[in-house]
């Protein structure tokens, strides 16, 4: 049986703050395997597809703006229940509310801007993981 896979993104704030290593260290320390990785500045088109479920929401445009503002690191990771496991490592969307011990809780900052600059993205289901891995590792 092949292990579950997920897409992890280190967002532009994580890369700019030099936290890529620290974030991926936590992923590996938890026992997940990184099987592919690339750094890129994402196009609006890619991001609009990636975040299609949020189209029409007030933070959609600022989110695309933020996510295309600098390089991101896209990671393919695998392991038993890695989707749920990485979401748990990442913590709540809002860095202020995220529990200590999580990536967002320990390292996330509230900059008081329109979008939660919360360091990481992780797929939220097997269906999104498959769709998102197809987009970022086409």
DSSP H/E element including 82:
helix 82-90
Distance, in Å, from the CA atom of 111 to the CA atom of 76, rounded to the nearest integer, reads: 28
Count of residues that bind ligand IDP according to CB under 6 A: 8
40-48, 95-103, 115-123, 128-136 -> range binding ligand IDP (CB under 6 A): 115-123
Is 45 in contact with 85 (CB distance < 8 Å)? no
18-26, 40-48, 113-121, 130-138 -> range binding ligand IDP (CB under 6 A): 113-121
93 is in an annotated binding site: yes
| Contact flag: residue 115 with ligand IDP (CB under 6 A) | yes
| Contact flag: residue 48 with ligand IDP (CB under 6 A) | no
CA 113 vs. chain centroid, Å, equals 19
Annotated active-site residue 121? The verdict is yes
Distances (CA, A) of 51 to 27, 40, 59, 75, 131: 23, 17, 11, 17, 11
| Contact flag: residue 102 with ligand IDP (CB under 6 A) | no
Q: Which residues are catalytic?
A: 121
Binding footprint of ligand IDP on the chain (CB under 6 A): 59, 63, 93, 115-116, 118, 121, 124
């Amino acid at each position: 049986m092949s292990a579950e896979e997920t897409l992890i993104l280190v967002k532009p704030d994580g890369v700019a703050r030099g936290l890529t290593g620290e974030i991926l260290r936590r992923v590996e320390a938890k026992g997940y395997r990184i099987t592919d990785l690339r750094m890129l500045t994402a196009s609006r088109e890619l991001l609009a597809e990636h975040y299609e479920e949020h189209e029409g929401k007030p933070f959609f445009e600022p989110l695309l703006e933020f996510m295309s503002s600098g390089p991101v690191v896209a990671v393919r990771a695998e392991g038993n229940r890695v989707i749920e496991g990485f979401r748990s490592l990442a913590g709540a969307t809002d860095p202020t509310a995220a529990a200590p011990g999580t990536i967002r809780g320990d390292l996330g900052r509230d900059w008081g801007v329109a979008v939660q600059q919360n360091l990481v993205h992780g797929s939220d289901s097997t269906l999104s993981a498959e769709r998102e891995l197809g987009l970022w590792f086409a």
